[in-house]
Amino acid sequence: MKITLKIWRQKNAENPGRLVTYERDGVSADMSFLEMLDVLNEDLTAKGEEPVAFDHDCREGICGSCGVVIDGVAHGPQRTTTCQLHMRSFADGDTITVEPWRADPFPVIKDLVVNRGAFDRIIAAGGFVSVNTGAAPEAHATPVPKVDADRAFEAAACIGCGACVAACPNASAMLFTAAKITHLGALPQGQPERAARVVSMLDQQDAEGFGGCTNIGECAAVCPAGVPLETISQLNFDLRRSMTPSRRH
């Protein structure tokens, strides 16, 4: 098939970027979106033009490295990661616009590559259980009801790609933070630090410059890992509870 690409090219954080048009022919419907970009890059290299920089690694939808905005939607028309999007989702003759995640806390490094270091700092602020290696009790010492384990898993499936931020009109990271709050809060192991965790992670989220959540739901609509919107309700529940002095640890 034949397509027209409009791709955001930006040399580095200091220089302004612009959309550059590339005409493509002979695109196979079975190619992944990133393989289509690989072929473009091979052709650009052959012509002596610098290839398009984009983040990617596992190419099976789990590492969270890839992610671009395709025709205004984070990760494009299917609810999956960019690497798992295939060209069969597009039609012959389509014009496809490709841009990086747009959010102040995710500054552009080059072309489609952005800096998502803010997510790591939110985790460092409290997205863990404080247990040193070797200090763990026998795994079966604390049974966990299956429904709780399943709920924890559902939230823990977050791949940290940042699509939720890119999709949110406020550039809020609420779904990302709420996924970790919900995951750890659903398990007995997460209880001792539950109240402190939500406060410190939210403080960090604010400090990074992410916007507030106004319950729009664009985040969950694009989340390739299917993290449910209700995790944000859970976060708000935990936050309110943590502000009740008697509950605070």
Partner 1 sequence: MTDGLIDGLYREGEPIADTKAPGVPLAERWSTRVFGGHLVSPNNRRKLKIIVIGTGLAGASAGATLGEAGYQVTSFFFQDSPRRAHSIAAQGGINASKNYRNDGDSTHRLFYDTVKGGDFRSRESNVYRLAEVSGNIIDQCVAQGIPFAREYGGLLDNRSFGGVQVSRTFYARGQTGQQLLLGAYQALERQVAAGTVTTHNRHEMLELVVVDGRARGVIVRDLVTGEIETHLADAVVLASGGYSNVFYLSTNAMGCNVTASWRAHRQGALFANPCFTQIHPTCIPVSGEYQSKLTLMSESLRNDGRIWVPVAQGDTRDPRDIPADERDYYLERAYPAFGNLVPRDIASRAAKRVCDEGRGVGPGGLGVYLDFADAIARLGRDAVVAKYGNLFDMYRQITGEDPYQVPMRIYPAVHYTMGGLWVDYDLQSTIPGLFVVGEANFSDHGANRLGASALMQGLADGYFVLPNTINDYLSAGPFDTVPADHPAVVEAVTSVQDRIQALLGTRGTRSVDSFHKELGQIMWEHCGMERTEDGLLEGIEKIRALRREFWADVRVLGEAGELNQALERAGRVADFLELGELMCIDALHRRESCGGHFRAESQTEDGEALRNDDEFAYVAAWQWGGGDGAPVLHKEALHYENIELKQRSYK
- Site for partner 1 contains 123 (CB under 8 A): yes
How far is 97 from 166, CA to CA, in rounded Å?
A: 15
How far is 170 from 214, CA to CA, in rounded Å?
A: 8
Segment interacting with partner 1, rule: CB under 8 A, options 117-125, 168-176, 209-217, 236-244: 117-125
- Site for partner 1 contains 115 (CB under 8 A): yes
- CB-based contact 198:154 (threshold 8 Å): no
How far is 62 from 52, CA to CA, in rounded Å?
A: 22
Q: Which of 18, 88, 240, 247 forms a contact with partner 1 (CB under 8 A)? A: 88
Q: Which of 7, 69, 187, 223 forms a contact with partner 1 (CB under 8 A)? A: 187
CB of 214 to partner 1, least distance (A): 27
How far is 105 from 166, CA to CA, in rounded Å?
A: 10
Among residue numbers 208 through 247, which ones bind partner 1 (CB under 8 A)? none
- Site for partner 1 contains 125 (CB under 8 A): yes
Tokens for 86, please give them. 């295939």
- CB-based contact 198:239 (threshold 8 Å): yes
Segment interacting with partner 1, rule: CB under 8 A, options 82-90, 165-173, 213-221, 234-242: 82-90
- Site for partner 1 contains 120 (CB under 8 A): yes
